[in-house]
Amino acid sequence: MGKKHVVAPTKEELLKESDKIESKLQKEVQKTSPAISEGKVYIYSSYNNTILTLTDKQGRVLHWVTAGSIGFKGTKKGTPFAASKAAEAMSAAAEKMKIKKLEIIVKGIGTGRDAAIRSMAARDFDLTSIIDATPVPHNGCRPPKPRRV
């Protein structure tokens, strides 16, 4: 069969990829009324992707970002780096909407949840609360009957 040949990406290819990701981060954000000063950020993190949703206090969706919408593909969507880039895009959108106070609600067990929270906290937002809303079973389903062989 022969030896496997692993191709390492060059610095130019890495720079092109990072520029592509940064350009997708610079997407234009929908203009909303300037009266909104508070909002909620819902972070759903699974093993495969990280989804961030920005809402107002009533729960109306203002903006959403996923790691896949930024440009990550495949297993890279579930990484903490992809989650932090998605959180940076979300914080840029919140700054354009002039939102100052944020409440963060986290759900899921993926690896990107901590990175997304840290990336949102690094910006100049007044974080009022961070809530973990991951569903936990109390007793679970009824277990299957023992197998008869």
CATH number of domain containing 119 = 3.30.420.80
Domain contains 43: yes
**Mean predicted confidence (pLDDT) in 40-61:** 94
Q: What is the number of structural domains in the chain? A: 1
Q: What radius of gyration do the chain's Cα atoms show? A: 19
Name residue, tokens 């008869």: 148
Amino acid identity for residue 67 in this structure? A
What is the residue range of 98's domain? 36-132
Domain contains 15: no
Q: Is 8 helix (H, G, I), strand (E, B) or coil?
A: coil
Query: In whole angstroms, what is the distance from residue 30 CA to residue 13 CA?
Result: 32
Q: Dump pLDDT digits (tens) for 110-141.
A: 899 999 999 999 998 999 999 999 998 888 88
- pTM (global) more than 0.75: no
Query: In whole angstroms, what is the distance from residue 128 CA to residue 149 CA?
Result: 57
Domain contains 93: yes
Confidence of residue 86 (pLDDT cuts 50, 70, 90): very high
Give the pLDDT of residue 26: 63
